[in-house]
Amino acid sequence: MADVMTYSEKTKTNELSIFIADINECLLENNGCEQGCENTIGSYRCICRHGYATAGRQCQDENECSSFGMCSHQCINTDGGFQCLCPHGYVLQSNAGHCQDLDECSLANRGGCQQHCINTVGSYHCTCNPQYRLHFDKKRCIPLNGGGCVGDCTEQGDTCPPGYRPTINGCVDIDECSNNYRSRGSCSSSICHGSRGTPCSHGCVNTEGSFHCICPPGHVLQIDGKTCISDPGDVNCNPVCLNGGMCQLSDGCFTSCSNTVCICLPGFSGLQCEIGDNSCQFECSNGGQCIDGHCVCPPGLSGVSCQIGN
């Protein structure tokens, strides 16, 4: 019979032979088992795939991560399995849950190091030959004599981010408003050439890692953000600029022009520079600039709102 599994069990009663046939309960939709059904002599049992445990006729996911030692670092339980994760600087060994150090220096690009690569556990760092120093990108090397002129040619050299210069105590802010500041220039023979002095035509306010220019009363700032010209009389932003924002001629306007735009200080935005957290208690007047909640006045003016002429 196709729907039974027979086995040899024979009894004799008054010369009458009786044959008993096992019924395969698993042939009818797994007999209710969720995943698998295994027939047994006179009965059956439900079975589950690897990663699951039987719970009656149902299969429940086993949390392999609850067992110690499945992964050397981080274990993520998944439906019917698990996944081992490694921290940055490590790779997972094949067919194992152990993370081993990634030797970045053995890669084709040597971790991006220009000259030398030193591997460490979980990381690496670049070094340079004698008479070279490490660029602030921590990968390139530049000559000690002249700065190398790698990237922008500015006073900070190439060991610090833009707007900062190197000292024995680390990188410090460049005061672009100082008369000793050397502006961006050309590079020749590993020596930077550039004009010295403040980049602003009139007033200059230094900020951490940057600067911005301001104009005296009767002047407006040009689109270059550095040059002030005499106010032609009709350069008025409507609505007016707030929080020290500068009303300047829009791009392409050099004399009288009806198109204006508010140039906002760092930390402010919006058409009127109305969005920001560092607004001043009093509106800055006479060209004063609102910086960190205080009015910075042009030369010759003072007071909490630059209302006093000296």
75-90 pLDDT, tens per residue?
A: 888 888 888 888 888 8
Least confident range from 97-101, 121-125, 154-158: namely 154-158
Phi, psi of 111 (to 5 degrees): 70, 10
Length of the chain: 310
Q: On the CB side of 240, how many CA atoms lie within 13 Å of its CA?
A: 7
From 76, 46, 48, select the one nearest 63 (Cα to Cα).
76
Residues forming a β-bridge with 163: none
% of the chain residues with pLDDT over 90: 7
More confident residue, 149 or 301: 301
CATH class in words for 64-102 = mainly beta
Average pLDDT, integer, range 39-46:
90
The full set of domain ranges for the chain reads 64-102, 153-199, 211-309
Q: pLDDT tens, 119-143?
A: 999 899 999 988 888 887 788 887 7
% of the chain residues with pLDDT over 70: 70
From 223, 234, 224, select the one nearest 256 (Cα to Cα).
234
Question: pTM here?
Answer: 0.38
Q: On the CB side of 203, how many CA atoms lie within 13 Å of its CA?
A: 19
